[in-house]
Structure 1
């Protein structure tokens, strides 16, 4: 089968391709104080997003209107406050102790089993409410990446990029990654249909090139981990297949942004998967305005957990924040490390001994790690009830009791440490020690950290069971 004929089969089966779209002025609602030139797809499906280029919105700032709708989307009813743990699936009994096929093979060289392998024509559309809400969340993520990657390229001068160690070829790579997002947005839009979420207006935290790159490595982390958390729970195996092919690119983007930030590109043996509500909690505060009649999401927004002495990736001694206080540029979960620090403390232009510099590089070996087992971590957290997200129309909430534990979600593990309270909404813990396999530490990289009221046992496939016990959610910079 030729490449062209293969593509035609995909088109007929799934509608994952399309015709050009128009650019039009998008109104952001009667309560919005602005109207921005935001290129949006037409209603007809399938669509192609921005095949002839991209024009960034002229406004990137906070929402200034009054929300007319609040809270997450809801269904006809909610059946229970949480999902009770159960035994293994009764059909999970297969075990092969012989190393050869145990059942008749349906075709030559084809072992029995597998899903979607019986010759049925693939349908590349969501198949359940779970699928729709998950892919809609993924599309919100693709939209912000499309805008974010372009925004820094437009905002900063060539001189500022050069000073940050990023020359024309690096900027060209970022532009290519931005263009990748137009393809991802096209794919997810067509798998959802006419109620696919549209692009919004965003409110970014950075003021320098290094802060922009740092923010992108954090944002692509929760974008990637948010998909790994739900992809194998999708009812549509076909949707999961195409989503996996896009998220593999997202992983490469996160690695590149880490390299541009002077961080180790591959810091873990296993990437971590996060439930959708964790990813939405991290993403929503950076969305300012969305169009009228925008499709709303069902996922929860947890209160923010502020890590007061998170490592500053711009310091040659990143843990000095324990003496200097919070060194992020703002109060939102994924806000980047502050880069405007004294030159005497900065690792950006360091010419001293090896192991301390942080200029863009294929890899760095750090003489002083960004964090370490036993480090005392200081927390403050918000009360629920805060207005966040598009048009300030979502509200943070928790179903948990008083916080007792700190949950560290990384690699294959969900690890707990004890929380010591120092006030109504403050406390501390110590970074735990342990290993996944061999000398692979359980805590490394850009990762999720949570306060919980229970040390519930969960594994990578059922981490969402923890959601009813989450008090607050944050992002920890461990390496």
Structure 2
């Protein structure tokens, strides 16, 4: 039998010939032989070219000559609601078959099931901009995982409970990002975003691990938000097979940080503009003529009493973050006897472990959450070339996006001059016994309490004033 190209090799081949369809290079007659012979080793495709980024820190170069998101003519400021598709409303869902079967044991319906040859490439501006955003995330993760191993000593990792085998896992996760970046770049083509330089808000291992678990959460949630909307089903399938690994990376970083690995029953999806807003401040500069993105950058939301997983009592925190957007933890100024890494009592300690139960929750219903937010107009992102913006003059609600819910609570004691307020963490469940506000989740300030669901959550964007990650559990 002639050697068969690997699936990844076919993907690379399809990418290099952008206009040609993806066609397997074998015929039915090649499957008829019954003589066994040792298989010829199949050559593997080359991964995307990458390098170790040598420069880290905030952008210090000249002002950008091009600023703002990529844009053409904008048709409307928001999308009005419309009724659902009739075929979905009318389908009886009674467990019976309602159409002729295209094949034995195969029901009618489905998308991309008619035998047409799949094209593993983007099929619209929406696809391109969404996958380009995902590639920006893969590049920063590749660098961030390597950077931590190069920056902190073995002794520093060991002191935090992350041993040599754990560090090998971190190296392996960095290698996984090479494959993720290769898949997405092949589907995007020659103008796919390239590696950049980055600025990480961490100064020790505890802060590094927490920033990782927050970044991997919004990268994961950012893909879940658009995956079902892609025009290219084949591209969605390939991306899904990467993002499932990303989800496991997020779980690993929670375990490294001494947190319960997956307290939520459902992982939320967020709009692309949310993911880009959270990511862009940590990108310092990118190569000349780098592909620009269309997504909005919202102002930063600072959670002044953001729960701190490094504390024994994580909810007893005040100004213990490294800044807005990620609101990742800071250990600066916390007495040693209040750090759970130094505790030895079960329920109070937080060693790197498969699972930890904590006696004191990081947050709880009824907790006052104190907030401050930036005004729009700040330069952020690669080369300080993107500008934060919002349509909201005065926010009135906190939107808690977690699991399957977007729950609104009113902002209280609002100061328009200082841009401060507080709100109350809601007591709401997704299902009975499943607190909706849990895990590494998202908070936005809005001017209306717009009803949205997981599939149309991006409709909230015209009403967002500021955005942050909230560490509920």
Query: TM-score, normalising length from structure 1?
Result: 0.89
Aligned with 1:370 (options 335, 359, 362): 362
Q: Partner of 2:69 in structure 1?
A: 72
Aligned with 1:81 (options 71, 77, 81): 77
Map 1:306-325; keep pairs closer than 5 Å: 306-321=302-317, 325=318
Distance 1:171 1:9, change over 3 A: closer
Distance 1:151 1:96, change over 3 A: same
Decide whether the 8 Å contact of 1:10 with 1:16 is kept in 2. Answer: no
Map 1:30-45; keep pairs closer than 5 Å: none
Question: 1:333 and 2:333 equivalent?
Answer: no
For 1:107 and 1:180, locate their aligned partners in 2 and report how far apart those are by CA, in whole Å.
37
- Secondary structure class of the residue paired with 1:319: coil
RMSD: 1.9
**Range with greater deviation from structure 2 (99-108 or 388-397):** 99-108
Cα displacement string for residues 401-423 of structure 1 (whole angstroms, at most 9, x for unaligned residues): 31111100000000000111331
For 2:413 and 2:2, locate their aligned partners in 1 and report how far apart those are by CA, in whole Å.
64
- Secondary structure class of the residue paired with 1:221: helix
For 1:173 and 1:3, locate their aligned partners in 2 and report how far apart those are by CA, in whole Å.
33
Unaligned runs of 5+ in 1: 18-45
Alpha-carbon shift at residue 98 of structure 1 (Å): 3.7
Alpha-carbon shift at residue 301 of structure 1 (Å): 0.1
Q: Partner of 2:192 in structure 1?
A: 196
Q: Partner of 1:348 in structure 2?
A: 341
Question: 1:225 and 2:217 equivalent?
Answer: no
Unaligned runs of 5+ in 2: 18-44
Map 1:247-258; keep pairs closer than 5 Å: 247-258=243-254
For 2:367 and 2:264, locate their aligned partners in 1 and report how far apart those are by CA, in whole Å.
19
Q: Partner of 1:417 in structure 2?
A: 409
Aligned with 1:59 (options 31, 55, 61): 55
For 2:216 and 2:93, locate their aligned partners in 1 and report how far apart those are by CA, in whole Å.
41
Decide whether the 8 Å contact of 1:348 with 1:357 is kept in 2. Answer: yes
Distance 1:205 1:94, change over 3 A: same
For 1:97 and 1:161, locate their aligned partners in 2 and report how far apart those are by CA, in whole Å.
54
Q: Partner of 2:388 in structure 1?
A: 396
Alpha-carbon shift at residue 198 of structure 1 (Å): 0.5
Alpha-carbon shift at residue 2 of structure 1 (Å): 10
Q: Partner of 1:31 in structure 2?
A: none
Alpha-carbon shift at residue 210 of structure 1 (Å): 1.2
- Secondary structure class of the residue paired with 1:436: strand
Distance 1:98 1:62, change over 3 A: closer
Query: TM-score, normalising length from structure 2?
Result: 0.90
Q: Partner of 1:436 in structure 2?
A: 430
- Secondary structure class of the residue paired with 2:237: helix
Q: Number of aligned residue pairs: give it.
A: 443
For 1:3 and 1:475, locate their aligned partners in 2 and report how far apart those are by CA, in whole Å.
49
Question: 1:49 and 2:45 equivalent?
Answer: no
